[in-house]
Amino acid sequence: MSEENLSSLFNGLIDGDVMSAAKLITLIENESPAAPEIYRMTYPLRGQAYVLGICGSPGTGKSTLINGLIALLRAREKKVGVISIDPSSPYSGGALLGDRIRMQGHATDNMVMIRSMSTRGSMGGLSKATLGAVGVLDASGKDVIIVETVGIGQDEVDIADAADTTVLVMTAGLGDQIQVLKAGIMECADVFVVNKADQGGAEKLILEIQLMLGLNRDYQIDQSWEPPVIKAEAINEKGIEELWEALEKHRSFLQANGGLEEIRKKILVRETMDILTNKIRERALEAILGGGSVGELADKIYEMKKDPYSAAFSILEIAGF
């Protein structure tokens, strides 16, 4: 990628051109040699967007809710970016297509950009490039960026570290729900949505969540925000206004108590540490393989005849750390 091409993409990005943003995100996703330059150019423009994480089990209605939020935000002339994380499961093709169709109403709208990303087998629910993509959309002047993740277990913890406000979407009738709540998710969600209220059981689930939140409050570090539980029927566009109100309230809360700055700091540290970890691993592998292929790694390490800890330290030494 030539310098002129990159700066023309960058100019396009600033002008709100969707294709330029998409191309820059792809370059970051592919770990192109242009990635450092993209970060350098976009970083000064970041920090304006409100970043929302929306997580919950598959089928709870996250995409439908996001569609409602997009419509609401567009009606208020807000620029919206959506990043949807596709689980690396081979069964996700249909669901992904479903997302595209459901969001299609907004797909040609220049003020809305929707991007699907794969997790590429990363440990958490976020793709390695998710934060980079959020950064690009932020720099392009989006007012709100919504990240949709499937999220079971560790995933929400991940998104909670990457978003200003984290929403957990649930539905009644999924037996594992309260089980999920016990697994440490309660502390991560700032706002709860009980969706598909038309199907019944919503009131009971809302009470259960409120009870859990009450029980949990003693253990929460920050006791001043009480996560609201919003009842919604995303498919009937019900509860969207209430959800947005709750989100704005949380944003104001963060702004008032310095929490927003804390979150932004945490995200910056995390992005830096992710890049650092990758670079160290890359350099160490290069040093030990000495131009050989990754396929030789097992032999190389085995030949060292060392315990894993000593082997790792030896590799660091060989790599010159």
Ligand X SMILES: Nc1nc2c(ncn2[C@@H]2O[C@H](COP(=O)(O)OP(=O)(O)O)[C@@H](O)[C@H]2O)c(=O)[nH]1
Q: Binding partner of residue 149 among ligand X, Mg ion, none, CB under 5 to 8 Å per kind? A: none
Q: How far is the CB of 54 from Mg ion (least distance, A)?
A: 9
Which of 18, 21, 27, 63 forms a contact with ligand X (CB under 6 A)?
63
The CA-atom distances, in angstroms, between 166 and each of 106, 155, 162, 251 are: 23, 12, 9, 11
Which of 28, 170, 234, 254 forms a contact with ligand X (CB under 6 A)?
234
Which of 48, 199, 257, 278 forms a contact with ligand X (CB under 6 A)?
199
Which of 15, 198, 226, 262 forms a contact with ligand X (CB under 6 A)?
198
Q: How far is the CB of 101 from Mg ion (least distance, A)?
A: 11
Number of residues that bind ligand X (CB under 6 A): 16
- 147-168: b or e for each residue (b if 16 or more CB lie within 10 Å)? bbbbbbeebbbbbbbbbbbbbb
Which of 86, 155, 233, 271 forms a contact with ligand X (CB under 6 A)?
233
* Interface segment toward ligand X; rule CB under 6 A; list 25-33, 36-44, 194-202, 259-267: 194-202
Closest CB to ligand X among residues 56, 259:
56
Closest CB to ligand X among residues 42, 63:
63
Is 63 one of the binding residues for Mg ion (CB under 5 A)?
yes
Q: How far is the CB of 134 from Mg ion (least distance, A)?
A: 18
Closest CB to Mg ion among residues 62, 250:
62
Is 92 one of the binding residues for ligand X (CB under 6 A)?
no
* Interface segment toward Mg ion; rule CB under 5 A; list 26-34, 97-105, 134-142, 231-239: 97-105
Which of 10, 25, 38, 62 forms a contact with ligand X (CB under 6 A)?
62
Q: HEC string of the chain?
A: CCHHHHHHHHHHHHCCCHHHHHHHHHHHHCCCCCHHHHHHHHHHHCCCCEEEEEECCCCCCHHHHHHHHHHHHHHCCCCEEEEEEECCCCCHHHHHHHHHHHCHHHCCCCCEEEEEEECCCCCCCCCCCHHHHHHHHHHCCCCEEEEEECCCCHHHHHHHHHCCEEEEEEECCCCCHHHHHHHHHCCCCCEEEEECHHHCCHHHHHHHHHHHHHHHHHHCCCCCCCCCEEECEHHHCECHHHHHHHHHHHHHHHHHHCHHHHHHHHHHHHHHHHHHHHHHHHHHHHHHHCCCCHHHHHHHHHHCCCCHHHHHHHHHHHCCC
Q: Binding partner of residue 199 among ligand X, Mg ion, none, CB under 5 to 8 Å per kind? A: ligand X
Closest CB to Mg ion among residues 20, 130:
130
Closest CB to ligand X among residues 56, 227:
56
Interface ranges with Mg ion (CB under 5 A): 62-63, 99
Interface ranges with ligand X (CB under 6 A): 56, 58-64, 98, 195-196, 198-199, 233-235
